[in-house]
Amino acid sequence: TGRQLKLPNPNRKMRGGDTMFGVGIDREPDHLEHLGYANGWDKTPEIVHECREKGHLGYAGNVGRCLTEYGCEVCGYKYLVDSSD
């Protein structure tokens, strides 16, 4: 806990030297598959597990009061977490 992720920077170098939207990575965040609210998941989707196993950094950003968007441009998904009571 306490790990702060930042919004994606398209010019950031990734492992292997490709940039975030470089070779084979042509999706912008608005074109990612939306997995809904993580608060409502019975179990974490397989795409999220696979992404973490691959060591992708992903991103997180505040999109509203008590609302955070997480995702990975490389794997092509995003989801929301509502931290309100």
**Residue 66: pLDDT over 90:** yes
CA angle 25, 38, 81 (to 5 degrees): 85
pTM of the predicted model over 0.95? no
d(CA 50, CA 73): 13
- Residue-level pLDDT at 85: 75
For the ranges 4-8, 23-27, 76-80, the lowest mean pLDDT is seen at 23-27
Asked if residue 24 belongs to a domain, the reply is no
Whether the CB-CB separation of 55 and 61 falls below 8 Å is answered with: no
Q: Which amino acid is at 55?
A: G
The count of other CB atoms within 10 Å of the CB of residue 73 is: 23
What is the domain range of residue 44?
Answer: 29-82
Residues 3-18: pLDDT tens digits?
555 555 555 544 444 4
In a domain, 11, yes or no: no
Domain count, the chain: 1
pLDDT in tens, 27-61: 445 678 999 999 999 999 999 999 999 999 999 99
* Helices and strands: H and E segment counts in the chain: 1, 4
Residue 17 falls within a domain, yes or no? Answer: no
